[in-house]
Amino acid sequence: MSDAVVLVAAVPTRRRRLPLTVVLPAIPVVLAVLLAALAPWVAPQSPTSGNLALRLKPPAWQEAGSAERLLGTDLLGRDVLSRLIWGARVSLLIALVATLIGAVVGSVIGLVAGFYRGTADTILTKLVDVQLAFPFVLLAIAVVAVAGPSVPVLIVVLAIGAWVGHARIVRGLVLSLRERDYVQAALALGAGTPRILVRHLVPEVLSTIIVLATFDVGRIIILESTLSFLGLGVQPPTPSWGSDLRDAAVYVRQAWWTSAFPGLAIMAVVLAINLLGDGLRDWLDPRTVRGDGR
């Protein structure tokens, strides 16, 4: 996602109709969100109570498989498909909440820093530079080592990973926007700072924030699953794509399906989200946004 940016010509966009580059990738994303939201009704089996008599059943299309366990069962006889659907609930919810917190906190800080500038802004810029470059997994290890692994801790850690990108980009935008004539005119007319921030600057940066946040959801789904895979995130028996893979990797020789499907789920959702981000960026045209948050 990083680069097409520079090449995008400043074509005036017609915003009335959604282009295909937004609609197509949005379909799988919406589908995943719907499945996750409706998990109690659409999941064919219970995600947590397994039937030990049916452990390690292969997917339906293999010889020993059955249509009742479409994607097979895991070591404890739990239905893989049901765990995927419930896992989507956990993984997507965590990613959305963490992104939202990160985007709001980061944007507010970026907005204020870019508008007021000064020493606080200089320190913030340095802090952001250091953290952006810092290996995120290390930060997560340090925090989880002390706070212990749990969902709230995980959300906070992921939000810490997300806010910097927003702070940096919004700050940069506001720095140039505040010099624009219409902002200077509003200032001259005696508009208060809150009014200028909310009425004149926020609408200008909103599309950038939306595009950046879209990429962030994808990035955070991967980070969440990575931390859960390492045992530093969601803890069993709660189903999440990452923590399911942690268990499944141990017996991947006996049952490939318990490892393959959660990974495919992550890949498909993240791919769709990244393409959606690309599409949104070209449509809304904020040329400064890149997928890696820099």
Partner 1 sequence: MLQYTLRKLLHTGLVALGVVTLVFIALRASGDPAATMLPGDASVEELGALRRQLGLDRPVWLQYVQFLGAAVTGDFGTSFRHQQPALPLVLERLPATLELAGAALLLALALALPLGILAAVHRGRLIDVAAMAFAVVGQATPYFWMGIMLILIVSVELGWLPTSGRGGLERLILPAITLGTHFAASLARLTRTSMLEVFGQQFVTTARAKGLSEWSVVLAHTLKNAAVPVITLIGLQFGTLLGGAVVTETIFAWPGVGRLAVQSVFVRDYPVVQAGVFVLALTFVAINLLVDLLYGVLDPRIRRE
Under the rule (CB under 8 A), what is the footprint of partner 1? 1-7, 126-127, 129-139, 141-148, 153, 218, 222, 225-226, 229-232, 242, 245, 248-249, 252-253, 256, 259-260, 262-263, 266-267, 270-271, 274-275, 291-292, 294
Is 248 buried (19+), middle (13-18) or exposed (0-12) by CB count in 10 A?
Answer: buried
Listed in sequence order, the DSSP H helices in 201-255 are 202-230, 241-250
| Alpha-carbon span 207 to 103, nearest angstrom | 12
Q: Which uninterrupted H or E stretch holds 148?
A: none
Residue 136 CB, nearest approach to partner 1 (Å): 6
Query: Given 3-state DSSP classes, what are the helix, strand and coil percentages for the chain, each rounded to the nearest 5?
Result: 70, 0, 30
| Residue with Cβ nearer partner 1 (5 or 108) | 5
Nearer to partner 1, 137 or 191 (CB): 137
Exposure on the CB side of residue 110, measured as CA atoms within 13 A? 29
Contact 88, 29 (CB under 8 A): no
Nearer to partner 1, 45 or 228 (CB): 228
CA distance 106 to 94: 18
Nearer to partner 1, 42 or 267 (CB): 267
Query: Which is nearer to partner 1, 96 or 270 (by Cβ)?
Result: 270
Sequence-ordered list of residues with C-beta below 8 angstroms from that of 125, at least 6 positions apart, any chain? 113, 168, 171
Instruction: Specify the DSSP element, H or E, that contains 294.
Output: none
Q: Give the CA diameter of the chain.
A: 77
Q: Which is nearer to partner 1, 197 or 272 (CB)?
A: 272
Shortest gap between Cβ of 149 and partner 1 (angstroms)?
8
Q: How far is the CB of 177 from partner 1 (least distance, A)?
A: 26
Instruction: For the beta carbon of residue 139, count every other beta carbon within 10 angstroms.
Output: 14
For the CB of residue 46, give the shortest distance to partner 1 in the complex, in Å: 25
Amino acid identity, position 195: R
Q: How far is the CB of 221 from partner 1 (least distance, A)?
A: 9
Give backbone dihedrals phi and psi of 94, rounded to 5 degrees, phi first. -60, -45
Least distance between partner 1 and beta carbon 89 (Å)? 19
**Distance in Å, CB of 140 to partner 1, minimum:** 9
Nearer to partner 1, 251 or 283 (CB): 251
